[in-house]
Amino acid sequence: MKNSNFGFIGIGNMASAIIGGILSTNFIKPENIYMYNHHPEKMQHFVDAGCIPCTSLGELAETCSTIFLCIKPQVFPDVLLKLQPLVANKKANDVLFVSIAAGITFQNLQSALGADRLYVRAMPNTPLLLGKGATSLSRTSNVSSDDFKQICDIFSCCGLVREVPEEQINAVIAVSGSSPAYLYLLAKLACDYAEQRGMDRKTALDLFCQTMTGSAEMLLNSGKDPQTLIDMVTSKGGTTFALLGVLREHGFDETMLASFAACEQRAKELSM
Ligand SMILES: NC(=O)c1ccc[n+]([C@@H]2O[C@H](COP(=O)([O-])OP(=O)(O)OC[C@H]3O[C@@H](n4cnc5c(N)ncnc54)[C@H](OP(=O)(O)O)[C@@H]3O)[C@@H](O)[C@H]2O)c1
């Protein structure tokens, strides 16, 4: 496979974060980045940076050997239907498709575009926008180590990358793909409470965010597992003890586990 030109279909939040990461690290030259969005104005920012806008899917498919599918899962059936005849004349090994969509399986892609083509699935998250994302990647067995490394390197421009088997990629959505939402929800609730108690919202947000960052550092670097770290903050009869008691009483663990399962179930439903 020749990885000279990289095409992005759907220039929304995620594609913008990935392209932004690539450009900020100079990993790929802008003149090797092609884009197609059905609303062309969404590409203008990257046109200004030297990337190439395509006026049709056909133009992108013809020029690119790696095609990132960055549209919403609901749009996949239509885009794949249009893409199939446009890549039909390419040899199976000549084009690698990278899908970042929740729920769209290798089987969906293989049925639509061909069983023996090269496929990678990625599950990124929105902190990619700051180069601090977390992306899980899976590949079909025919993707070579070199080709896969190149895709890993692209996502590494925007943060941390880990490989997972495809059967785990829906479970990972609860861990990293959708998890910014429940962390933001915790931040919002803590700030709401602080405000009710007369505190300045910005001060509360600063304190909460520093606590999230510091806690993440503790989890990564203290050598201690999460339960040990919880125990270290929790003296019997103390304030954290009271906080955790209420969480337990209100079924926090069960609620979170049920929400993770709902996330995975929804990904399965988004499959074509
Ligand atoms: N957002 C997240 O946190 C997150 C995390 C992990 C994975 N993902 C996955 O990333 C994918 C993209 O998500 P996103 O948040 O970046 O969505 P988004 O911001 O809506 O971006 C999708 C873009 O595709 C464009 N588009 C729609 N139909 C098109 C078509 N037929 N041809 C070309 N372009 C088309 C949309 O344009 P218009 O809006 O103008 O229609 C939009 O600019 C999804 O599959 C999602 O599952 C997202």
pLDDT one-digit tens code per residue, 158-185: 999 999 999 999 999 999 999 999 999 9
Angle at 258 between CA 252 and CA 264, to 5 degrees: 140
**CB of 123 closer than 8 Å to CB of 135:** yes
* Tens digits of residue pLDDT in 101-131: 999 999 999 999 999 999 999 999 999 989 9
Mean pLDDT over residues 193-203, rounded? 98
Going by alpha carbons, the residue nearest to atom 30 of ligand 1 is 38
* The predicted structure's pLDDT at residue 14: 93
Pocket of ligand 1 from Cβ distances under 6 Å: 9-14, 36-39, 42, 70-73, 75, 78-79, 100-102, 123-126, 177
Residue of 8, 9, 11, 14 with the most ligand 1 atoms within 8 Å of its CB, for mutation: 14
For ligand 1, mutation pick of 43, 60, 70 (most atoms within 8 Å of CB)? 70
Across the beta sheet with 159-163, what order do the strands follow? 52-53, 33-36, 6-9, 66-69, 96-99, 118-123, 133-139, 159-163
Q: How far away, in angstroms, is 8 Cα from ligand 1 center? A: 11
Q: Which atom of ligand 1 is nearest to the CA of 78?
A: 31
For range 135-157, the mean pLDDT? 96
pLDDT higher than 90, residue 71: yes
CATH 3.40.50.720 domain position(s) in the chain: 6-168
Q: Which two tokens stand for residue 97?
A: 């498709």
Q: What is the pLDDT of residue 4?
A: 84
Question: Fold for domain 6-168?
Answer: Rossmann fold (3.40.50)
Whether the CB-CB separation of 92 and 116 falls below 8 Å is answered with yes
CB neighbour burial string for 25-56, b if at least 16 within 10 angstroms, e if fewer? eeebebebbbbbbeeeebbeebeeeebbbbee
Question: What's the confidence (pLDDT) of residue 108?
Answer: 96
Gap between the terminal Cα atoms of the chain: 27
pLDDT at 272: 81
